[in-house]
Amino acid sequence: MEKTLSLIKPDATSKQVMGKIIARFEQEGLSVVAMKMLRLSKERAAEFYAIHSHLPFFGELVSFMSSGPIIALVLQGADGVKRNREIMGATDPKKAEEGSLRKLYGTNVGENAVHGSDSLENAKKEIAFFFDLSEIYA
């Protein structure tokens, strides 16, 4: 069993597909063991994506991620980090696999509906960025 962090990004909360996204995780055998809706400040969004701070899209990414409410989820399941990435699909919705969340609900390479941790190590850090241990029901 692995835990991973998922974010439903501002484009997806404004498209009113948050329920569909959460339902999909549950259908795929990932359990929601923590969840909260919040809005990131520009500073917090920049901190979350600090590894990308040298990249040309960083400013846009920070503006987008702080533009509206997001939902942070901790998902738990067998091979959870990799399973979540498969369900999400490729970063660019145009290239994402048929039926993946980004194909279904993403808008473009920046506004791509969901975030998911890319390794177990990053999952631990990203979960701690959003949740106290006492908020995780695992």
Would you say 4 or 76 has its CB closer to Mg ion? 4
Q: Secondary structure of the chain in the HEC alphabet?
A: CEEEEEEECHHHHHCCCHHHHHHHHHHCCCEEEEEEEECCCHHHHHHHCHHHCCCCCHHHHHHHHCCCCEEEEEEEECCHHHHHHHHHCCCCCCCCCCCCHHHHHCCCCCCCCEEECCCHHHHHHHHHHHCCHHHCCC
Of 91, 119, 128, 137, the one binding ligand UDP by CB under 6 A:
91
Rounded to whole angstroms, the maximal C-alpha distance in the chain is 39
109 binds, among ligand UDP, Mg ion, none (CB under 5 to 8 A by kind): ligand UDP
Quote the tokens at residue 2.
């692995």
x/- mask, ligand UDP, residues 31-60, rule CB under 6 A, reads: ---------------------x----x--x
Would you say 92 or 135 has its CB closer to ligand UDP? 92
Residue numbers of the site for Mg ion (CB under 5 A)?
A: 118
Would you say 76 or 84 has its CB closer to ligand UDP? 84
Q: How far is the CB of 118 from Mg ion (least distance, A)?
A: 5
Q: Are strands 31-38 and 70-77 parallel, antiparallel or unpaired?
A: antiparallel
Catalytic residues: 115
- Say whether residue 68 binds ligand UDP (CB under 6 A): no
Instruction: Tell me which residues in 108-127 interact with ligand UDP (CB under 6 A).
Output: 109-110, 112, 115, 118
Contact positions vs ligand UDP (CB under 6 A)? 52, 57, 60-61, 91, 109-110, 112, 115, 118
